[in-house]
Amino acid sequence: MNVKKIIKKSLLALVIASALPAVHAADKSANTDVSSQVEKDVLVTEKLDVNLAEQLGVDGSSSVTVTKAGASRLNIHFSEVSLQPGAYLRISSADGKQTEIINHAALYDGSGESFDSMTIQGDSALVQLIYPDRNSRQVHNDRVIISDFSYSLANNNERAIIGDNQMVDAICYENTKPGLYKGSLAMMRIYVHEQGASYGSGFNLVGNYMVMTSNQVAGGVGNKSHLLEYNFQSDSCNSDKRSDYLGIRTEKVIASGGGGANDYAVYQVDSLAWMEAGIQSIFGNLALNPAAEKLPVGTPVYIPQHPVWAGLKKIADRHDDGDACKIVSGGSDSVAHFNCDSSGSVSGAPVMAQVDNTVAAIHSVAQGNSGPSAAYVYNQIKSTMPWTNNPSFAVVGEGKLSVANRSQTLSVPAEPVVMRSNADVKLAALYNNRLKHFGSYSLFEARLRATGGSIESVNVRMQLRTPCGLTDLNASQTCGTAGTRQLEMNVLPQDNALLTSPAYSGWMTLRVTDRQNNQLVSNLVMPYNFTNYDPFTSPFTPGTQVTTVNMTGQHLETPRVTHKSNFGFVAVHPGQGPLATTTATSGESTTIQVPLKNAKGEVKLVNLSALRKFGCTSGSGIMNSVAGCGSTPASAYLDLRFWYGNNPGLPAGRYTGMLPLIEKGDGVEQAMLVNIDINI
């Protein structure tokens, strides 16, 4: 079974799969007065059933494009992954702006881990299995099973509200009720894929790497890779526009109750993400209320939550009578009842005391507005987590999250990150000794996950571009001229003596402050992926039939060829050009970025312009289009050009290197290697 058959199989699955409502099974426990419920959400799951490891393509990869027209977001579910060392997964959005490299240790230990991709915004995602070592590409007994995927439907209007809806956008309280807003930062939305896909809620618990939620969200003790989405809220008061949000994974459930009053669970979170993405410093954490019994009737409380009908974070702190919502009578000693508005998908959210932001209860049931009291939950976990009801250990988060997903390859700069301020800013690392300055640039020591799961240091060269020019990130460097500030990044061989892994993944975090008033502008978190390959060695598997062409001038037309189906041209390496084909019929030329060496052996990034031209009507279009002229496959070729206007500041001279491409269509996969030797 070849790669194209895999893709055809997946596309067929998209057409014939039935939509499955995503729900949790109801908990039948009846030993207390709190019953679990089935929470309806806005997700739909569709079957896929693809094994990417069945056969590799000419570049040592296998891929599938998952598309659902009209979807606003996608999550790909891997029901089983088992890989040999060196291989890894890459998932990217159609526009390439979101990329995730998956290479954590559980992929290689033979356990066949089940997990989900981070959320891809939009209606299409490219999933790739990559074996980078061209001399040892055998799948052996590897398995990469994509069983299904989920996508978002339009929000429904079903909600469990007591009287009128008193919920407000969380961001509305940033200035008017800052205590409640700061407390809400520690609460997140949880994406779970067990019997289908659904959302729950949770919060950072005092202590490192811990998140508390309900048992009906997390399930029992064991390895659980669920997605935590922080800061999923409106960007301004009464706005439907979403702010930046951050996703990380859990590793396991380390404590869990059952139904009723025991509806609690504690996750252990990916420690690398927790530290490098600054989870505790940005979002803070919460302590269980230290009272020996559940809080008395009349205690004012509030609930930060992601109601199913809204998605974006809300806060419910008022009752219909205009007074604060409160603990109300009812239930046993182990269960608290409250009169705050709540909704489906809120299970696991903290019910918080307004006076001190301690957790009074764990939300469990929206219809009855109740959940296990903090005092009861603490008694169940105190033998292993005795610190969890100590408010002095709680951390108040700084907030002001800014997220910039960045991916790059060796010597190819990442897309610059534009700062949120046009005034003079300074940038600092979260941790001491992670950022060193050298006048014209700084080196950030990124702690990244290498293929196989080990953690290694990679030095990322950073520069701040201001209206005054390029500088390092040192606070002593100033520019009083107002204007755009942007962070530029690159990974260079001379800054890294030994890069052992073909792919790295992780997070980098910088605090951005205004130099004049020293106020925090943003906590900039960069989910970061780095691919390490030799751009001057052919990536194609030895023995592969390769079409070789030479570009010795500033213009090249590749040979005109006809395959059994219409085809487009795709890049092999990320960052150089499009990685998947499209059915778009027209478009402007594509800019391809190629690392080339000059006469001194220095690597420079050269931009080439690419157009696909096909013969039936002398048409042209974007290079990766598979558009044709009817039922008969059209001949096509690639038009490559060097334009001075696309390469400002590039010194004159001779440049050499290579550009690997693939002619790709339905049942077509032909390797092409463009050897470049040009003078400019």
What does the pLDDT look like over 105-143, one tens digit per residue? Answer: 999 988 877 899 999 999 999 999 999 887 666 767 889
Average pLDDT (189-212) is: 92
Give the confidence band of 80 by pLDDT, cuts at 50, 70, 90.
very high
d(CA 607, CA 554): 11
d(CA 131, CA 410): 18
Whether 39 has a pLDDT exceeding 60, the answer reads: no
d(CA 134, CA 121): 32
Determine the residue type at 633: P
In terms of DSSP bridges, do strands 120-121 and 327-328 run parallel, antiparallel, or are they unpaired?
unpaired
Whether 481 has a pLDDT exceeding 80, the answer reads: yes
Is residue 648 classed exposed, middle or buried when 0-12, 13-18 and 19+ CB atoms within 10 A define those classes? Answer: exposed
Average pLDDT (440-452) is: 95
| pLDDT in the model for residue 206 | 97
d(CA 438, CA 430): 19
Whether 401 has a pLDDT exceeding 70, the answer reads: yes
Q: Which has more confidence, 183 or 261?
A: 183
**Longest Cα pair distance anywhere in the chain, in angstroms?**
83
Dihedral of alpha carbons 344, 348, 354, 360, sign: positive
Give the confidence band of 186 by pLDDT, cuts at 50, 70, 90.
very high
Average pLDDT (184-201) is: 91
Average pLDDT (43-60) is: 89
What is the architecture of the domain spanning 3-22+41-152? Sandwich (2.60)
Q: Give the distance from CA 508 to its chain's centroid.
A: 13
Most confident of 71-75, 521-525, 573-577: 521-525
Whether 533 has a pLDDT exceeding 60, the answer reads: yes
Give the confidence band of 548 by pLDDT, cuts at 50, 70, 90.
very high
| pLDDT in the model for residue 366 | 59
| pLDDT in the model for residue 16 | 26
Determine the residue type at 357: N
Most confident of 396-400, 467-471, 498-502, 535-539: 396-400
Give the confidence band of 367 by pLDDT, cuts at 50, 70, 90.
low
CATH number corresponding to 408-531: 2.60.40.2520
| pLDDT in the model for residue 619 | 60
Instruction: Provide the residue ranges of all domains of the chain, joining segments of one domain with +.
Output: 3-22+41-152, 168-393, 408-531, 546-679
Most confident of 480-484, 566-570, 617-621: 566-570
Whether 271 has a pLDDT exceeding 70, the answer reads: yes
| pLDDT in the model for residue 15 | 29
* pLDDT, the chain, mean: 87
Extended strands (E) in 171-217: 187-194, 196-204, 210-213
| pLDDT in the model for residue 618 | 56
- What is the topology classification, in CATH, of domain 546-679? Immunoglobulin-like (2.60.40)
| pLDDT in the model for residue 161 | 53
List Cβ neighbours of 665 (8 Å cut-off, separation of 6 or more): 563, 565, 566, 567, 568, 581, 626
Closest CA to 247 of 115, 353, 445, 335: 115
Whether 362 has a pLDDT exceeding 70, the answer reads: yes
CATH class of 168-393: mainly beta
Cβ neighbours of 457 (radius 10 Å):
10
In terms of DSSP bridges, do strands 168-169 and 113-116 run parallel, antiparallel, or are they unpaired?
unpaired
- Provide the 8-state DSSP code for 632: S
- For the chain, the C-alpha Rg in angstroms (whole number) is 27
364: helix, strand or coil: coil
Whether 7 has a pLDDT exceeding 50, the answer reads: no
- Quick check: do 168-393 and 408-531 share a fold? no
d(CA 622, CA 630): 18
d(CA 69, CA 91): 18
For the ranges 373-377, 507-511, 611-615, the lowest mean pLDDT is seen at 611-615
d(CA 26, CA 12): 33
Give the Cα-Cα-Cα angle 72, 77, 78 (nearest 5 degrees): 150
